[in-house]
């Protein structure tokens, strides 16, 4: 049996708050630890022989409903993370890309995002994507409206795929941590034929060893894409 090949990986990082609460810590401590796991997983993916992109669901359009203090902390954490990781991206030949509506962020954070994207645009070993102020439905609507503005009266699946923000049309494997089993408005177009994997592990406890085991499981799956084996 031919192995399934993993090129495009997507991750819903869930469980930061519960991880912190279980330890009597503030939710912000969970987010800080979660950022460390993003770094570990990105390093793993950069060295993996087949993975081309890894996309993390970092901040959804619904996350603005969280307490203001927590949202403000997440914005500062993102700015700090990108500032710190730029050298690591360059050392590991990793391209950084943000998807979503970052126009809602502060000017300072927008500049940090643009600077990091521009500085790493020619790196080729891995594309590391953060979905920021992102919603899958909003992305599809934006893609269709952009085609309408171009004068399209009818659109094809290929045209919509090309108008999306992601540099790929399809996700191969979607992982969600913390035991929740839903996709939460994430990459709705791109996961139409993705393999799904739900783990009970809270994101701050997630390891590259577990990721390796999940990928091994994925490689043994037979992907039919609506056809027969």
- Tell me which residues are annotated as active site: 14, 63
Angle between the N-to-C axes of helices 68-91 and 27-47, in degrees from 0 to 180, rounded to the nearest 10 = 20
- The SS3 of residue 214 is helix
Q: What is the DSSP string of 137-204?
A: HHHHHHHHHHHHHTT-SS--HHHHHHHSSSS-S--SEEEE-TT----TTSSTTTTTT-EEEE-SS-GG
Instruction: Let me know the angle formed at the C-alpha of 98 by 97 and 104, rounded to the nearest 5 degrees.
Output: 155
Residue 112: exposure state from Cβ atoms within 10 A (0-12, 13-18, ≥19): buried
Helix, strand, coil shares, percent, the chain, to 5: 50, 15, 35
- Which of 80, 89, 94, 73 is CA-nearest to residue 29? 73
What is the total residue count of the chain?
229
Distances (CA, A) of 23 to 18, 27, 29, 30, 74: 9, 10, 10, 10, 20
* Dist CA 54 CA 9 (whole Å): 5
């Amino acid at each position: 049996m031919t192995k399934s090949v993993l090129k495009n990986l997507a991750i819903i990082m869930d469980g930061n708050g519960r991880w912190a609460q279980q330890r009597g810590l503030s939710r912000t401590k969970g987010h800080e630890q979660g950022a460390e796991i993003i770094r570990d997983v990105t390093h793993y993916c950069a060295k993996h022989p087949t993975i081309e992109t890894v996309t993390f669901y970092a901040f959804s359009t619904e996350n603005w409903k969280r307490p203001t203090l927590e949202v403000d902390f997440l914005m500062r954490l993102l700015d700090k993370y990108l500032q710190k990781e730029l050298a690591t991206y360059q050392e590991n030949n990793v391209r950084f890309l943000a998807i979503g509506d970052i126009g809602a962020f502060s000017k300072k954070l927008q500049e940090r995002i643009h600077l990091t994207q521009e500085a790493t645009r020619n790196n080729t070993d891995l594309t590391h994507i953060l979905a920021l102020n992102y919603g899958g439905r909003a992305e599809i609507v934006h893609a269709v409206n952009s085609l309408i503005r171009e004068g399209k009266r009818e659109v094809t699946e290929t045209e919509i795929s090309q108008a999306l923000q992601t540099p790929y049309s399809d996700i191969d494997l979607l992982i969600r941590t913390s035991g929740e089993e839903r996709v939460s408005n994430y990459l709705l177009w791109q996961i139409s034929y993705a393999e799904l994997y739900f783990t009970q592990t809270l994101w701050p406890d997630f390891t590259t060893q577990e990721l390796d085991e999940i990928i091994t499981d994925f490689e043994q799956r037979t992907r039919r894409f609506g056809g027969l084996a």
